[in-house]
Amino acid sequence: MLSNEQNASGSAEGTPSADSPTTSTKRVRDLHEMTHDELAELLSSLGQPSFRTKQVEEWIWTRHAMSFDEMTNLPADLRGTLAEICSLGGSEEIAKQVSRDGSRKYLLRFADGVAVECVGMPTGNRLAVCVSTQAGCRMGCVFCATGANGFTRSLRSDEIYEQVMYVGDDFATRVTSVVFMGQGEPFANYDQVLEALRRLNSPMGAGIGARHLTVSTCGVVPMIRRFAQEPEQFTLAVSLHSAIQQTRNYLMPGVHKYSLARLHDAMADYVERTGRRPTYEYALIAGVNDTENELEALMAFCQGTLAHVNLIQLNDCPGSRLKPSTQERAEQFVHGLGSVGVEATIRNSRGADIDAACGQLKQRHENKGKRSR
């Protein structure tokens, strides 16, 4: 599938500039881009009764119709007219990998040629989906393959939503949770991400509970404060990766201006305003952020807060000088954090036998294309 966005928070702390999703000038209008009122106006201009709007919205958002012929409760002449003047967008799968653990990673391409990754992770009768919010990323995290591909643009809300519906269709099951932890910094695309969250939560959308929708940020402080003021009970995760400023600046240069002290204050404000428990994500990297000094700093940063720490075994990417810590060291971190009353768990890594890390599949696909030319 193929609104400009504005990320003005009104905060004196300043807001990172967001890159508005691009639109094409030579194409019919995608129904997914229309607001409720715009769709209602279109259908009214075609002489249709008002209830048609809800019917069409159910087809495009809840049932993920891929053609107008599927909309069997609409009159045939209306389906034909809509097919002439509108499109249903969609995405094209250009690569897919299936892991032994059942996870599936996709590289999806939209109408303008932009491609992004998403992942489906089944567990029993549940299906979690990890979505991208930008094509590329400007944060420059040294352990992430996405930044190596450069930055193209931010995604529109319907393109984020499309990833969820595509994965659900491929698994032929309902998606039960979504994590915004794929390519891109969600809070550099705040308005479109929030719109996608609300559509995923809506009964007229995917109908996923707000607490099962998680946004992961590198720690963009003004947007964390803004997110704390939203009325829905969406879940927040912060990629921390070090509680020592110098180490964090090295690992995550894109957020160096948001100091750990400011981040700590913003998170305290978030907990006070929402009463919800945030998660700190911490990818353990051998010899970088898994030392005793790093553990002590992490314990001090989290002690007395409501936060949960999610320890991640770093994906061992070919050619990277960064290597994952041992399982034993991860367990020592869990014990250390527990000794000061901080709950911590070691995340069960998925897709270890495929290109699981953000940006890896896209990078492999692009490199393959270059070699074939």
Asked if 113 and 152 count as a contact pair (C-beta separation under 8 A), the reply is: no
Query: What is the DSSP pairing of strand 235-239 with strand 92-98?
Result: unpaired
Rg (CA), the chain: 21
Q: Which helix (H) or strand (E) holds 164?
A: helix 157-171
Asked if 222 and 208 count as a contact pair (C-beta separation under 8 A), the reply is: no
Q: How far apart are CA 7 and CA 187, in angstroms?
A: 8
> What b/e sequence results for 12-45 when a residue is b if at least 16 CB atoms lie within 10 Å of its CB, and e otherwise?
eeebbebbbbeeeeeeeebbbbbeeeebbebbee
- What residues act catalytically? 117, 358
Side chain identity at residue 44, one-letter code? S
Q: How far apart are CA 33 and CA 224, in angstroms?
A: 27
Residue 245: partners with Cβ closer than 8 Å, 6 or more residues away = 259, 260
